[in-house]
Structure formats: structure tokens, C-alpha cells
Amino acid sequence: MLDRATRQSRNGIARRACRVMPILVTVGLTAALPNAAGAQPSEHQAPVSIPELTAAALPAPDTSHLVAVKPDKGRMLDVTVYSQAMAKNITLKVLPAPDGSAPAHTLYLLNGGSGGTEGSNWHTKTDVDGFFADKQVNVVIPVGGEGSYFTDWKADDPDLGRQQWKTFLVDELTPIIDSAFHGSGGNSIVGISMSATSVFQLAIAAPETYQAIGSYSGCVGTSDPAGKAMTQAVVTRWNGNPDNMWGPGSDPAWAANDAFVNADKLRGTTIYVAAGTGTAGELDTLDGPNIDNGGTLIGQLVSGGVLEAVMRQCSLQLQNRLAALDIPATFEFRDTGTHSWGYWQQYLHNSWPSFKEAMDRKTQS
């Protein structure tokens, strides 16, 4: 049960959420041994061999399997995996660890509301290729899942189709990636905006899979009035029916999937949460990252500003919730900053050491 102060705080968020709902609908929320997993790659590292990793890939228990691996730009690989749960192929962008012959941790990066299908994604909007080039970690970026919250839906949706992302990410994808890319068993998962909610749900569902989570610019609650309204707005923005996800608003599944309500189950997971204030910062300028023109900047300042202000309040609320439960977590609160990729890139840089430490503990224990 939530205490009175927490309920009052969440009601305040609900009132603010109602005022910004048109904007939400518009933008869519969008010390190890040498060669041990997590260690820096050696000078004698072996390059990744596509034929070898393809041959090494084992199917998941439900017969989901690797379909194809193709070279993409730079170190990036374009990987296709068949999901039995969703009965379709799923595209992944994978940055393999630099030493293809040594064990490597895996960092999963989830895109936002668009699922990365509209050019708003980790592999084109950030420096993940360069940043992880000297780190012995596989970086896996699923493409797709727009408006899905990367969860298992109760029913197929007429527009979004079959959404069984929790099953795919936890049960199907992990063993395939581990076998093909020498996975160490150390995994972290990061989300932004919509998927900043999802990473908490996934960590609760599979604590043995993910040792660390990063949640940037998101709202964790889904069953209180504000959380429910925002969640429904995001799903609707991508032409989905929220009733097909967790049932009608009265369905107990909404609370069952609310990581704020079930936050006690996060104990033992390394947690990194980050958010700005919504006010313009050093990256909100005409020469800032991913700013193409004045119109892009205005959108980032207005829509991105209002959204981030709401996410800041959600993050403060989560900080209080975890503190009350005596669950350790790192919160990075900027004095400025909008709901945009430049800041999410910075958050990833800042949080990476904590992810690596958590995965190292897993594999060295």
C-alpha cells in the first residue's frame, strides 16, 4: 500500500499530466583477469567473424533463432532474429565487443516511443559506436516495438499486431545473443522516455537476467491516474489500443505491471535514473546535437521542455519511493536539459561505470 503523502504526490502529478497530455500525444514520448568479461580488450583481440558467430548461435528454448547477420556502418551489424512469441522477424542493431574471441557483457539499449523506426534511435542519434569501441561489451539495440512499452500484451492489436516483447527480450533474445557473441551472463538494460518505464518492469520480471538498469527521462508509474493517462496516450499515439496491452483501466494487470507499486522487488538491482528540468541547457542551441534547423530547436525547447519537466517530477517521486524502501539507487538530476538525445547520450556515459561494476560482480561471483 502507498502512504498518504505518496498518494497526494501522485495526484499532483496526475493534474500536471492532464495539462500536458496534448503534447504527449503529439510527440509520442518518444579488477578482472586479462580477457575476462568486462575487461578492457587486449592488443591481441580477435575481430568478430560473422560466419563464426552465426554458426555459434543457439536457438532459444522455444525455437526462436538467429536468421541473418549482415555488416552495417562501421562496427555495426544488422542482425535478424525470429521471435516465436511474436511470430515474426525482429531487427537488431548490434555493436559486438571488440575482442570476438573473449567473453563479453551485454548492454541492451531500448529506443523510445517510436521503437527507433522513425530515425530516432540510439545508433543514429548518439555516439554509441565510438564510446563502446574500446570496451569489451556487446551493445544490442532492438528496432521496433513502437507504442508497446516492451511488455507482453494480453491481446493482438489490429494496428500494432502481436506484442510479446518481455518474452522476446528475456526468454528468446538473451540466449541467442549469449551464444553468438560470447555473452558472459552479465546484462544491463537502458531505456529512454517510454522505455525508461519498461526497464523497471523487465528488471522486476527477470532479476536473474538484468543486473543493472538505466532509466533516462521517464515515468515509472503506470496504474495511478497520471501514469495510466500517459501510458494510454503513448499507446494511442502509435495507433494501438491500450486495452489490448493490460486490459481496460480497471484490470489488475495495470497495477501488476506498475514498477512504482512493486518497487520492493527491485532490491538487489543496480539502478541509475536521470532527468533534466525541462529548461534550456547547453545542448539546446542551434549548434546542439541533432538540431537540424530552428524548427527542430523550437520543438525540442517547447515539447521537449514540457515533457522533461513532467519526467523530472516522476523521477523525484521515484527517488522518495526507493528511499522509503531503503533501496539504493543513483539519481542524476541536471539543473537544465530537455527531453532529447544529447542529454540521453551524456546519461549513458555517466552511468556506464555503474553498469559495468554490476555486471562484473555477477560474472566474478
pTM of the model: 0.90
Does any domain span residue 225? yes
The Cβ of residue 239 has, within 10 Å, a number of other Cβ atoms equal to 12
* Cβ-contact 318, 273 below 8 angstroms: yes
Cα–Cα distance measured from residue 30 to residue 26, given in angstroms and rounded to the nearest whole number? 10
DSSP for 249-280 reads TTSTHHHHT-TTTTGGGGTTSEEEEEE--SS-
Does any domain span residue 52? yes
Calculate the CA dihedral of residues 273, 279, 285, 288 and round it to 10 degrees: 0
Q: What distances in angstroms separate CA 23 from CA 16, 28, 129, 201, one per listed residue?
A: 12, 8, 32, 25
Q: Give the CA diameter of the chain.
A: 59
In tens, the pLDDT along 66-105 reads 999 999 999 999 999 999 999 999 999 999 999 999 999 9
Range of the domain at 185: 44-364
The domain that contains 244 carries what CATH number? 3.40.50.1820
How many domains is the chain built from?
1
Does any domain span residue 209? yes
Cα–Cα distance measured from residue 331 to residue 64, given in angstroms and rounded to the nearest whole number? 37
Cα–Cα distance measured from residue 331 to residue 351, given in angstroms and rounded to the nearest whole number? 10
Does any domain span residue 249? yes
The reported pLDDT for the residue numbered 164 is: 98
Does any domain span residue 14? no
Does any domain span residue 158? yes
86-124: string of b/e by CB count within 10 Å (b at 16+)? beeebbbbbbbbbbbebbbbbbbbbbbbbbbeeebbbbe
Mean pLDDT of the chain: 90
The reported pLDDT for the residue numbered 292 is: 87
Does any domain span residue 36? no
Does any domain span residue 136? yes
